[in-house]
Amino acid sequence: MELMNDDLIVRTITRLMVPFLLLFGSYVLLHGHFGAGGGFQAGIIITSAIIFAAIAGNLQEVHSILTYRKLFVFGALGSIGIVILGILGIVTGGNFFQYSPLPLPFDTATIHAIAITCVEIGIGIAVMGMMFLIFLAIAGGTE
């Protein structure tokens, strides 16, 4: 796969953009529990930063580090995290995904914010794994 990995413009813009994209992705992720944003959008933004870096760098090298199998497991782990958080609600005596009975030394609103952020992180991990998997599948390569 011949991508323009030695092009000066692509490399410079990537070097400028990737940190901002990662920062913005983290902001969207942590903002999700009380405003526009959340795990899915943050996952997309962070994945776009990684895809950017992969296009500017060496795709074969990315392929050798992040195999299909690893990405699939990565995405599945995010989903497992979400299920575990949901079942924590049942274990602590509430309903599925009910956070208020979680034994944390905060008031209810803070517990909700923490738990929702954890769920958003889980969603973000799942989306990142699957989106990058889709990118690699489209970009082609070997398995």
What residues make contact with other proteins under the rule CB under 8 A?
69, 72-73, 76-77, 79-80, 83, 86-87, 89-90, 94-100
> In this structure, what token pair is assigned to residue 64?
């050798």
Task: Give the shortest CB-94-to-other proteins separation in angstroms.
Answer: 5
Task: Give the shortest CB-22-to-other proteins separation in angstroms.
Answer: 26
Is the Cβ of residue 56 or residue 127 nearer to other proteins in the bound state? 127
CA dihedral 53, 49, 44, 126 (to 10 degrees): 60
Task: Give the shortest CB-110-to-other proteins separation in angstroms.
Answer: 16
Q: Give the number of other CB atoms < 10 A from CB of residue 19.
A: 10
> In this structure, what token pair is assigned to residue 112?
């909700």
Is the Cβ of residue 26 or residue 79 nearer to other proteins in the bound state? 79
Is the Cβ of residue 58 or residue 64 nearer to other proteins in the bound state? 64
Is residue 106 left, alpha or beta, with left meaning phi > 0 and alpha meaning psi from -120 to 50? beta
